[in-house]
Amino acid sequence: MLECAGMTPSFTSGALAAQLGAELVGNPDLTISRLEVIERAGPDTLTFIRDRLNAKHWLASKAPCALITRRVELPEFDRTQRALLRVDDADLTLNTVIDLFAPPASRPAPGRHPTADVDPTATIGAGVYIGPACVVGPGAKIGDGTVLKAQVYIGENASLGRMCVMHPGVRVLDRCVAGDGCIFHAGVVIGADGFGYRPSPDGRGVVKIPHIGNVDIGPGVEIGANTCIDRAKFGSTLIGAGTKIDNLCQVGHGCRIGRACLIAAGLGMAGSCVIGDGVMMGGQVGIADGVTIGPGATIGAQSGVIGNVPPGEAWLGTPAMLANYTLRDWANARRVGAGKPSINAGREARQAKRERPA
């Protein structure tokens, strides 16, 4: 049964197992009031076990209770003092647990702070909150229930859908669009000019290319802090519904990102790239201009993508190629560096023998 001490929820191990539909192994009466990784766990802590190594660490930790993925073999432990909650996927179930332990979300009451500057031609929906020092420009539209927390700038004729949350310092510049339920974290800039220059006719400098397009972001998109998405030269830079972009990413002008993509921190994407639905990209990936990455592809962290990636493939390395090839090359480099023959040495010798003239 759930109890509350102030704002902190507390469960017994048995009650938590029932909430999660987990199989309980051990004591059902342990008190669990917080979540923590194994290394910092205390006596009232729930942690999680995804593999055999974590199981060993748990036995040496102070955590009395842990989620454990079913495929991991159960360790021997004192079932009167500890408990394990067996689930299909400990990492995935942890998301549900986090929701149970999360403090209640505070949502400001609808209204407009006295320091906010809202143009009289802007359209403001029902239940909108506009916080301190926010600016809403001429012709802008703010959908029902949207929250502008503080120092948010919404440009001329820009549009936000219903139930969006704009954290402090967000800038949605002129004519840019965001759909329902978007979340933009602090410092996000939507619709800055693309990085476009050409040599000047006299050869003594550069000429700035005008960018008259916009950014069009689908519903349910979440964008991390200090990420920038540039407006198109003409037409729209597009972000598909449900895509999640991490902190400190740069999306260039005219890119088209599909639905339900996951893009980790530090990505740099040059202009006019096309990213298919369901693509996953690790941290610090760099993508050259005009590259197409097919639906369902995976790009490993710190990869440099300079050519098109077929659908569903996993690519890695700089320059990026099929992950299996990159891993093979890395293994060869280590072997050669240690004075050992290549892992392909035998095959290469047989091939050379076959090709040797008679």
Q: Supply the Cα-derived Rg of the chain in whole angstroms.
A: 26
Query: Please, are residues 124 and 140 in contact by the beta-carbon 8 Å criterion?
Result: no
Instruction: From residue 281, give the alpha-carbon distance in Å to each of 1, 195, 261, 278.
Output: 41, 22, 8, 10
d(CA 221, CA 227): 13
Query: Please, are residues 219 and 162 in contact by the beta-carbon 8 Å criterion?
Result: no
Residues contacting 103, CB < 8 A, separation 6+: 7
Cis bond before residue 319 (omega within 30° of 0): yes
Query: Please, are residues 257 and 238 in contact by the beta-carbon 8 Å criterion?
Result: yes
Cα-Cα end-to-end distance for the chain: 83
DSSP 39: G
| Pair of tokens at residue 38 | 């194994």
Residues contacting 40, CB < 8 A, separation 6+: none
Q: Is 253 marked active-site?
A: yes
The catalytic residue positions are: 253
